[in-house]
Each structure stands twice: as C-alpha cells, then as structure tokens.
Structure 1
Amino acid sequence: MTSQVTKINQSIILYDDRLMNDIDENIFEIDFWKMDQQAHSQSKGRGTVYFVKIQDEPCVLRHYNRGGFVSRLVEDQYLWMGEGYTRSFKEWHLLNYMVEKRLPVPVPVAARYVRYGICYKADIITREIPDIESLSDKLLGNLMTEELWKKIGECIAKFHDQGVFHMDLNAENIQIDQNNQVFLLDFDKGKVSEPSRRLSDSNLMRLKRSIAKVTKANQLAFPNSGWDMCMTKHHGES
C-alpha cells in the first residue's frame, strides 16, 4: 500500500492512494451518508457501523466510541498524545501490516482524526468483507460445527504466531463468511510484539468470557466441546 496524509479543514486524513484518489472529509460524516439511499447502518459493539461505497467499492465506516465506565462520562473523545497514538491511525497502520502478512483482516482504506485541544475524535474506513456473520450470531443460531471451531482456533493461532494480539477478542469481532473463512475485526486496541504465551492466553481467556456471556444471556449451555476443539487447533495439537 501507498499511504498519504492530508489535511482538509480540521480533518487529518490517512489514506491508501491506490484505493482513494478523491479525498473528501465528508465521507467520514454520518449525516453525509444519510442522504445516500444505498448506505445503511448496523449496531455493533460500542456503536454503529455504516456500510457505504467509496469509489464504487463496498466499505465500512466506523466512528470510535468509548466503552465501559468511561463511556458514561465521555462518549467519543480520546486524550491527545500525538498523531501516531490516535486510535484511527494506529489501527490503519496495524491493518496495513496484517494485510501484508496475509492475515485475514479488512483492508484499510482511510482513517481520520479531528483534534479538539487536548482531545480528539476519530474514524476509520475499511473495505467490506462480504456475507459475514459473527461468532455470536452463529452461536445463537446453533450454526457452529466442529469444522468452524477448529478454523477459529487455527485463525487465532496465525495472528499469535506473527506476534499480533487483538486485546479485545470477543464473539462479535470474530466473523465467518459463507465459505467458512474466519476473519478478525476491530483492532483499535491491537498490538504487535514478540510471540507471547502470556498475551496469547490473555486473548483466549477474554474470548472465552465473551462466549460465556453470550450463551448465558441467551440461556444456552457453554459449548465446552467446541471450545476444546478450538483450543486444540490453536495449540497445534492433532
């Protein structure tokens, strides 16, 4: 990819000039897309994502929102610590790195931040992965198979073997397409380091808690056998 950074009014935009050649800060504005009948939204995690078309290519626009207790006080502002530390630019560069490593993630298109004194707000646009369904939805629809559990374990292992750790791995950001290919989404808290058993175990335990939360909330039993198959494949056991 060829990255470029430009400033339009108060928006600082990072983009791949092979995927975008007509830069407009309005593409990050929700109100702009509300006038487009082809655009649509979907509630997800800490906010809403918007499915839009950038230069005729299906893309996903996501605004960064706070989660947890902090979100009760501040909805979508982050402390300014420099451009390289903004959520949007960090995720764009990490996605770019992972695409180069051939890891199954969305292709980054553009990222933006707008600074407000000691704080900033941010957005990111990625290429849409078509026809995907979350692990959470698969669980609720009783659609998980032995093959899928194994593929999830193998997929997560690919990231960990490359020293890439999601840090917020859960049943929503594991997505599966119609060919049963597994993808990981939402890397705004992701990090790259040396392969680490500690970080790997932390990732997996976070995912296990997420699955337990989904199943318990819907009065379903925790999928112990599926989880065991996932872990066996992750650890490279036959």
Structure 2
Amino acid sequence: MNLQRFVKQSSLNLFQQGPITCAYYGNILVDFEPDMFSGSYWQEKQAVTGTATGRGTTYFVAHKDNQLVLRHYYRGGLIGKFLNDSYLYTSVLNTRAAREFQLLMHLQSLGLPAPEPVGFKVHRKGLSYSADIITRLIANSRDLVAQLVKGPLSHEQWLQIGATIYQFHQHGIFHHDLNCHNIMCDDNDNVWLIDFDQGSVKPAMGTWCQKNLDRLLRSFRKEKNTLSQFYWQESDWQALMQGYQRC
C-alpha cells in the first residue's frame, strides 16, 4: 500500500513539504503545523503539562480539548551512541513512526487498551530519517513503577494486569519492550499497554508469548534490585500469571 492510499483509507490528513511528511487526524490537531511534532513548539505556546525522560524527553501537551503525548524516536543500545535518532530510510510507511501508528490503529480496531494514535512525522535526510509520533494521553494513569514506589497493588489489580496482557497475546500482538514502565493503570484500575515501537502482529499464542512474559518478569526483578523502595514481590508475579492463565 502506498502512502496516499493509506491516508485516504484511514481518513488522515497528509502534509508533504520538501523532506517533511506528516499524517494526522485533523479533527484533533486543529490548525495543523508541522512544528507540532517539536517539543519547543508546545513550550513556546506554554502548552506543556509535563515531561518524562527515557532515551529522550517525552512531552505531555494540552491542545484545544485534547491531552496529547509527543515522543521522538531514539535508538537504544550501543548503536544509539553513534546514530542517536537516525534510521535507514526505505519508504514513509516503513518508518518506525508509521509502523507504530498503523499498529496502534489496529489495536483501536480490536478494542484493546492502548494509546489512540493522533499523527506522525517523518523527516527524511538523504538515506536516513528521524521521526516523531503523537498519541492521545491515557488520562489519570501512572506506570507500574510509579505506582509500586508508592505502595503495593491489590491481588485483583495483578489479576487484571495478567488478563490484559493475555488479551494482547490472544490477538497476536507482540510488544517489543514489555516492561513495567510500559504498563499503565488508571484511577479506575483499568490496565493499558503503551509504547508499541517495533511491535508487530504474530501468530496468536506462539512461543514468543513466553519470551514476552520472561522479559516483563526480568524488569520487575531489576527494579526491585535497583530501587530502595519498590512494593513488588514474587507472589505478585504469581497473581499476574493467574490472571493471564485463567482467561
């Protein structure tokens, strides 16, 4: 599928100017400007409501009646020290941003609890590109690490976390980096998964599911050994797996 067909089928707006390509929902990014994919744009408008740091800075912004999340794509690992935010360009739809955007659209169609995609930007630089994505903020939510440094979760919450992960696996949704930072709980104890960069659709309930779970368990153990206060114990994992297996 080419870009124009994808945009038309998805009811997206398309902006193309020189090396810049943006696809976005015009009913959300009203009065669109390509600079909306820059943190400095929102800072100048005093619309930044918060930030989070990881490989880079994630911006939480208020636009009209929408609460949004802006994230720039950065490389991890050793290669990230040299290439930082540069990726090999083959086509717009094959960029990290466009692939994550399409996966999030698929998750929305399945009714799975994941961020709603709003738009993405690709900046081509010869044979390489950099990219950004905007999603809708999951209201009144915190990731599991932020929750567990304050206090323990209930048995029922762990069951729900396990059941939610199973939902994704049942539909063949592979999360490339399933860790306790990428699982959110809101004020109503609803569970959400975020950050689907490099995620994909695989055969449902394959051997990859156990590898996904093993990665998540390692992340809990890592935070337990790193943080001075982290209200997690191995029995919580058993509750999570109980919720996963009983679905």
**Per the shorter chain, which TM-score range?**
over 0.9
> Within 5 A, what are the aligned runs for 1:207-218?
207-218=216-227
Q: Return the match for 1:193 from 202, 217, 223.
A: 202
Could you tell me which runs of 5 or more consecutive residues in structure 2 were left unpaired when the two chains were aligned.
1-9
> Within 5 A, what are the aligned runs for 1:79-90?
79-90=88-99
Residue identity in the other structure for 2:79: V
Q: How far apart are the structure 2 equivalents of 1:169 and 1:5?
A: 31
TM-score (normalised: structure 1): 0.93
> Within 5 A, what are the aligned runs for 1:110-189?
110-189=119-198
Alignment deviations for residues 157-179 of structure 1 (CA, whole Å, 9 cap, x no partner): 01000111111101111011011
Q: How far apart are the structure 2 equivalents of 1:69 and 1:174?
A: 25
Runs of 4+ more than 4 Å apart = 219-222
Deviation (angstroms), 1:221: 7.8
RMSD, aligned α-carbons: 1.7
Instruction: Give the 3-state SS of the residue equivalent to 2:14 in structure 1.
Output: strand
Deviation (angstroms), 1:9: 4.0
Q: Return the match for 1:25 from 26, 34, 38.
A: 34
Residue identity in the other structure for 1:177: D
1:93 to 2:112 alignment? no
Q: Percent identity?
A: 34
Across the two proteins, how many residue pairs are aligned to each other?
A: 237
TM-score (normalised: structure 2): 0.90
Residue identity in the other structure for 1:32: Y
Q: How far apart are the structure 2 equivalents of 1:154 and 1:193?
A: 19
> Within 5 A, what are the aligned runs for 1:40-79?
40-79=49-88
1:108 is aligned to 117
Higher deviation after alignment, 45-54 or 127-136 = 45-54
- C-alpha change, 1:226 and 1:44, in structure 2 (3 Å) is same
Residue identity in the other structure for 2:41: F
Alignment deviations for residues 68-106 of structure 1 (CA, whole Å, 9 cap, x no partner): 211211211111122221011111111011011100011
Q: How far apart are the structure 1 equivalents of 2:29 and 2:42?
A: 17
